[in-house]
Amino acid sequence: MGQNFSTFTFTPSVKAVQARFGSRNNYAASEQDPDRYNLGESEIAFIESRDSFYLSTVGENGWPYMQFRGGPQGFFKVLGERLIGFADFKGNRQYISTGNMSAEKKAMLFLIDYPTRQRLKIWATSEVNDLTDDPELAAKLVVPDYRAKVERVVLFKIEAFDWNCPAHITQRYSLDEIESELANRNPRFAGLRYPPSEASHHRPV
């Protein structure tokens, strides 16, 4: 846990609660660790293997908003030591997250891998760009052969991140993960899909 994480999260009220419940001394010691802003190999591999994540933004009224973002595995890309981004696909056209990020740049990302019970929290400054703003960048983020309309690209400059413990995470597997495991166990199952519909591609079971 780097100092940047504690700076973002351990406000006076949080420290008071930690002191009340007996964890303040442990966290005070960990705040002396070196700053950690840049992504390491484990963070990069984790981010780029996701097929979904949760994005939290804040509106002008001060209320937070949480939304699911998904796509094919690898749609969320690492562009630099502190820069990540994705191509934002067309949805229900409410544009709440997009509107919030146009007014308030602060964003929170929650990435979770259910089979391995890992989760990564990222504090970031957001940036929303039209596809024509930087065609070269857009080309890096657009997913070839994925049948969804890309409306914009969203970038996140990482300000802090932290790994969570696996406690209380129930293991869940997507159909792709189940099919891959079956194929690894027995080649007879290679290519088997049930149900054979694109709509079920990322449905958890």
pLDDT tens digits for 62-93? 999 999 999 999 999 999 999 999 999 998 88
Coil, strand or helix at 140 = helix
90 exposure class (CB count in 10 Å sphere: 0-12, 13-18, 19+): exposed
Contacts of 51 (CB under 8 A, 6+ apart): 70, 71, 72, 73, 74, 75, 174, 202
pTM of the model: 0.82
Residues of the chain scoring pLDDT < 50:
197-205
> If DSSP states are collapsed to H, E and C, what string results for 32-82?
CCCCCCCCCHHHHHHHHCCCEEEEEEECCCCCEEEEEEECCCCCCEECCCC
* Domains defined along the chain, listed by start: 1-36 (no CATH), 38-166 (2.30.110.10), 173-205 (no CATH)
DSSP 100-113: HHHH--EEEEEEEE
| Residue in 41, 55, 167 with CA at minimum distance from that of residue 106 | 55
Distance, CA of 50 to CA of 35 (rounded, Å): 26
Residue 203, pLDDT score = 42
C-beta atoms surrounding 84 within 10 Å: 22
Residue 201, pLDDT score = 47
